[in-house]
A and B are shown apart, each in its own frame.
Chain A
Amino acid sequence: MSGPKISLSCQEVSRLLSDRQDETLPAADRARLRLHLVMCGACRNVQEQMDFMRRAMQQLGKESDGGP
């Protein structure tokens, strides 16, 4: 990481949104991500979609063809 850059691009944010599914982000990244999401609806959509995909994948194979 190069220096304390406050604003992130959508591209950087998309990577952080993925990383966040796997690990706790460093505090500085969390703060910058939070700021970006407040300002950017497209990235908020992607954030929701990543969360949704996780839930969907956890249900894959559990979804029932004929009741549980």
Chain B
Amino acid sequence: MNLDQELAQLHPLLLRFAKAQLRHDSMAEDVVSETLLALLEKPEGFEGRSSLRTYATGILKFKIVDVLRARGREVHIEPMDEQSMDDALDALFAADGHWREPPPAWQQPERALEQSQFFVVLQGCVDKLPAKLGRIFMMREWLEMETETISSELDITANHCGVMLYRARMGLRECLDLNWFAGASK
């Protein structure tokens, strides 16, 4: 396969991730085109360094971060309603702070990582998070940005960032528990 064919094959994947992160179709298409253009113009940048997929994803991530930064400056992310956030989480716990339903262990989680269907469920669970939570969570876990950077980019306090990540993680945990591990006698 030549470079163009490989990029054509990669294109849907890149687009899916850009859309999941930006939640804006035309912006996603833009960052993906820019990524592909960068690769077509400077193919020597990647040669021998890593797989094309890894290299392309790396470039795409940088472009997504740029868009998120620009957007963070344009659109002020208002503080989330801490009360309703707390309410949803509180429902998991009894008044004394114990789990209402103690979370069970997940069976053979490492095997899930070998199954492409698991990643479909994982992506679905991230997409189901409230938009702001999903975005912050992706910035932290997928773009692997430090929380300090995220807080300053989005102009929120470190504590607010921590609360949002906490809520996102608990939501994702719940979703995976329900949609993968509970029914998985795999």
Please list the residues of chain A having a beta carbon within 8 angstroms of any beta carbon in chain B: 9-12, 14-15, 18-19, 21-23, 41-42, 45-46, 48-50, 52-65, 68
State how many angstroms separate the Cβ of A16 from the closest Cβ of chain B.
9
Interface residue tally for chain B (C-beta within 8 Å): 42
Q: Is the CB of B119 within 8 A of A60?
A: yes
Q: How far is the CA of A54 from the CA of B166 in the complex (A)?
A: 13
Contacts of A61 in B (CB 8 A): 13, 17, 57, 142
Q: How far is the CA of A41 from the CA of B27 in the complex (A)?
A: 44
Contacts of B116 in A (CB 8 A): 63, 65
New A-B contacts (17) at CB < 8 Å, excluding given A10-B97, A64-B53, A68-B53? A9-B93, A9-B96, A14-B166, A14-B170, A15-B166, A18-B169, A18-B170, A46-B173, A59-B113, A59-B119, A60-B17, A60-B119, A60-B122, A60-B142, A61-B57, A65-B13, A68-B51
Please list the residues of chain B having a beta carbon within 8 angstroms of any beta carbon in chain A: 13, 17, 51, 53-54, 57, 89-90, 92-93, 96-99, 102-106, 109, 112-113, 116, 118-119, 122-123, 140-142, 144, 146-147, 162, 165-166, 169-170, 172-173, 176-177
Contacts of A59 in B (CB 8 A): 113, 119
Q: Is the CB of B105 within 8 A of A48?
A: yes
Describe B's contact surface by its main secondary structure: helix
Q: Is the CB of A63 within 8 A of B119?
A: yes
Q: How far is the CA of A68 from the CA of B104 in the complex (A)?
A: 34
- Output the nearest chain A residue to B161 by Cβ-Cβ distance: A22
Contacts of A18 in B (CB 8 A): 162, 165-166, 169-170
- Output the nearest chain B residue to A68 by Cβ-Cβ distance: B51
State how many angstroms separate the Cβ of A60 from the closest Cβ of chain B.
6
Most buried by A among B89, B122, B123, B177: B122
Q: Is the CB of B123 within 8 A of A55?
A: no
Contacts of B102 in A (CB 8 A): 41-42, 45
Contacts of A60 in B (CB 8 A): 17, 119, 122-123, 142
- Output the nearest chain A residue to B163 by Cβ-Cβ distance: A15
Q: Is the CB of A56 within 8 A of B122?
A: yes
